[in-house]
Structure 1
Amino acid sequence: MRIEESEQLNPEVHHKYICGVHVAVYMRTSMEDELAKYQFHFSEYIKKGIKADDIEALYKKVHATIQVDLTIKESKK
């Protein structure tokens, strides 16, 4: 697969996606524009008190945890 000039890899864009910035933006947008949709899509985050401003730190914490222990664990669900 060849990457066209307009599709060059951009580290800043990748960082934003890896750190969940796009999720935080979607949370803010849906909270302002479509409250019912926000409450449906983010019900677990709402229950746990996670806000859009917390997403980047949460993603970084998850990535760090994965790097510490790469063994596959069974879900508690």
Structure 2
Amino acid sequence: MWGALKGAVDGGLHVPHKAKNFPGFKAADEKGGESEYDAEAHKEKIFGGHVKEYMEMLQEEDPTKYEAHFAKYLAAGIEPDKVEDMYTEAHEKIREDPTGEPAEKKDITYEKDGDTMKASDGTEHARSQKITLEKRREKVAAKIAAAQAKMMED
């Protein structure tokens, strides 16, 4: 999020912000020193340096977890050394055509059936029914009474 804000500000938009929120900001020490902002540390975050380090650490320490966590990266042929290239390429594509293309709308309709929402593509999602304030209070009172009864038994 802060990378997007920094990009917007660097691009000329006026967005009220404070540099202390950006990665790479070091607050002034108690002795009265000056606070400083390290743009390179922020750039490192934007280009996925922290992801690369994590990938390398997992690759050495736990290859099974590495393959599970980064399965889509590996399927796309992205190794730890190629993470920065991936982000650089994405930035270039955005600069070429910043408008982007809207995603295709899926013609999915939903029907409510009790506590579930059934989609026309066959998926189902459980949805909790809203309860009224009175019923919620009754529910809480019942839980309190049950807890008190249990305490009295002990």
1:45 aligned partner, one-letter code: Y
Counterpart pick for 1:40 among 40, 56, 68: 68
Please report the TM-score for the alignment, with normalisation by the length of structure 2: 0.43
In 2: Cα distance, 1:32 partner to 1:41 partner: 14
Greater RCO between the two (CA within 8 Å, min separation 6)?
1
What stretches of structure 1 of length at least 5 have no aligned partner?
A: none
Identity over aligned pairs, percent? 31
SS at match of 1:62: helix
Q: Which amino acid aligns with 1:8?
A: E
Q: Which amino acid aligns with 1:14?
A: H
Higher normalized helix content (fraction of residues)? 1
* 1:36 Cα deviation from its structure 2 partner: 2.0
Paired residue for 2:84? 56
**Pairwise CA distance, 1:43:** 0.2
Q: Distance in 2 between matches of 1:2 and 1:72?
A: 29
Structure index of larger Rg: 2
Q: 1:54, 1:29 → 2: CA distance?
A: 15
Residues 24 and 2 from structure 1, CA distance in 2 versus in 1: closer, same or farther, beyond 3 angstroms? Answer: closer
Equivalences, count: 75
Report which of the two has the higher share of strand: 2
Gaps of 5+ in 2: 1-17, 21-26, 30-34, 105-154
Residue 20 (str. 1) matches residue 48 (str. 2): yes
Contact 2:48 2:84 in 1 (8 A): yes
- Segments of 4+ moved more than 4 angstroms: none
